[in-house]
Amino acid sequence: MSKKNLLGYSQAELEKFFLEINEPSFRAKQLLKWVHQKGELDFDKMSNFNKKLISKMKEVATLVTPKVEKVLQSEDGTKKYLINLSSGSSIEMVRIPENKRITLCISSQAGCALQCTFCATGAQGFEKNLSPDEIVGQLWLANFYDRKDPPITNVVFMGMGEPLLNFEPVISSASIMRNEFAYFLSKKRITISTSGLIPQINKLASRTDVSLAVSLHAPDNALRDIIVPINRIYPIDSLLNACKNYLSIQKDGRFLTIEYILINEINDSLEHAKSLSKILAELTCKINLIPFNPFEGCEYARSKDENIELFKSYLLKKGFTVTVRSTRGGDIDGACGQLVGNLKKTTQVKKITSRKFVA
Ligand code: SAH
Ligand code: SF4
């Protein structure tokens, strides 16, 4: 029988585990602190666990993180990690320091099935869902792999994969990130980003209180159907209703983040900005504009600086809170899916020109 990897166990699951081996449930809090606050993975070093307990635990359980294969450090302080899973798949995560805030962009799946036309992860296809230990393991590695690095303050599920298609493991790892005996991140410091799966957004509010970001990327269904193909199943008006519903259930005046990638001559005209401001008028949201990051095999280009500025100023004039994501880690293939994509290129070259949008 394979051993249980306790790295991905929530407090409730650990309490059950300890009761099953005839130990009091408070051991769960002690183990969470050792693993997620002190970064200790060796049962023998857990000084408030007696020898008998340690040997019982070693028989049935283990604490194992995914393996870091490569760390790339950018000149601007961004660090990108290529991580190997025991299944053989590779994923990546990116650590982005901005003053006191240190954001970790993590992956929820290896690859992605949803095939958005601007996304390197989508171009790789779907490989597997990550387990809770593989998701929480990324945060553990970001904090403890190099202990000189200051701890992560914010987590965004904006790396590889669609988090809401790996629902339970994502919810369970978010609960460990929120837990006061583990990482104790507040609900505002964890953001799940989704391409817009309505049924999952609808059930999200009953399972977690973390922040939500929606990858909109187009202001009308005709265009979104092409660049975010899942839109053909979950169109914009129903999606925005689901978002309003999520916010109204939270009842704490929270903002939704709307992500909008800016691709040259595809979705970046003033007309697009006008339509966007109309459809978002009723939603409490901030808009994050993301200049497209080019990658080999994709024929899209980054919007021109002057168009990014025009798009942004129009939305600001309409009263929206707007940020433009600065390109970080450009020298280390900072955009999602690109590092794994580059490593795979030697064995599997995928051309995605057939998925190019023709205006
Ligand atoms: N699947 C989820 C979360 C992961 S993708 C989602 O789609 O929201 C998260 C974000 O990565 C997307 O919103 C998009 O903004 C960004 N992204 C993907 N490919 C990109 C590219 N080539 N350049 C810039 N941003 C990209
Ligand atoms: Fe998947 Fe998100 Fe990439 Fe779309 S943008 S292919 S949903 S990872």
| CATH classification of the domain holding 158 | 3.20.20.70
Q: 294 and 152: one domain?
A: yes
Active site residue 296: no
Question: Does residue 222 register a pLDDT over 50?
Answer: yes
pLDDT band per the 50, 70, 90 thresholds, residue 254: confident
pLDDT for the residue numbered 344: 47
- pLDDT of the residue at 151: 97
CA of 150 to the centre of ligand 2 (A): 29
Task: Tell me phi and psi for residue 347, to 5 degrees.
Answer: -100, -30
Pocket residue to mutate for ligand 1, from 258, 261, 267, most atoms within 8 A of Cβ: 261
CATH of the domain at 16: 1.10.150.530
The pLDDT confidence band at residue 334, using thresholds 50, 70 and 90, is low
pLDDT of residue 358: 30
Give the active site residue among 15, 92, 134, 162. Answer: 92
* 349 in any annotated domain: no
Ligand 2 mean position, distance from CA 176 (Å): 24
Residue 359, pLDDT score: 27
Q: What are phi and psi of 315, to 5 degrees?
A: -65, -35
Print the domain residue range for 211. Answer: 67-332
Q: What integer best gives the mean pLDDT of the chain? A: 91
pLDDT of residue 38: 98
Counting atoms of ligand 1 from 1, which one is nearest the CA of 288? 15
Residues 214-230: what's their mean pLDDT? 98
Mean pLDDT confidence for 212-237: 98
Q: Decide if 59 is catalytic.
A: no
Mean pLDDT, residues 277-290: 96
Domain assignment present for residue 353? The answer is no
Question: Residue 188 domain-assigned?
Answer: yes
Residue 153 lies in a domain: yes
The one-letter amino acid code at 254 reads R
CA-160 nearest atom, ligand 2:
8
Query: Which atom of ligand 1 sits closest to the CA of residue 114?
Result: 1
| Lowest-pLDDT range of 1-5, 88-92, 130-134 | 1-5
Ligand 1 atom 7: residue of nearest CA: 195
Q: Are residues 296 and 169 in the same domain?
A: yes
Q: Are residues 161 and 58 in the same domain?
A: no
Task: Note the ligand closest to the C-alpha atom of 110.
Answer: 2
Same domain, residue pair 121 and 261: yes
What is the value of pTM for the model shown? 0.93
Asked whether residue 312 carries a pLDDT value surpassing 90, the answer given is: yes
As a whole number, mean pLDDT of residues 95-100 equals 93
Q: What is the pLDDT of residues 127-165, one digit of tens each?
A: 999 999 999 999 999 999 999 999 999 999 999 999 999
Query: In terms of domains, do 258 and 305 share one?
Result: yes
The protein residue whose alpha carbon is closest to atom 6 in ligand 2 is: 122
In sequence order, what DSSP letters do the residues of 56-83 get, joined into one string? HHHHHEE--PPEEEEEEE-TTS-EEEEE
Using alpha carbons, select from 302, 124, 27, 37 the residue that is nearest to residue 107: 124
pLDDT surpasses 90 at 199 = yes
* Separation of alpha carbons 71 and 129, rounded Å: 23
Asked whether 234 lines ligand 1 (CB < 6 A), one says no
89 and 55 assigned to the same domain: no
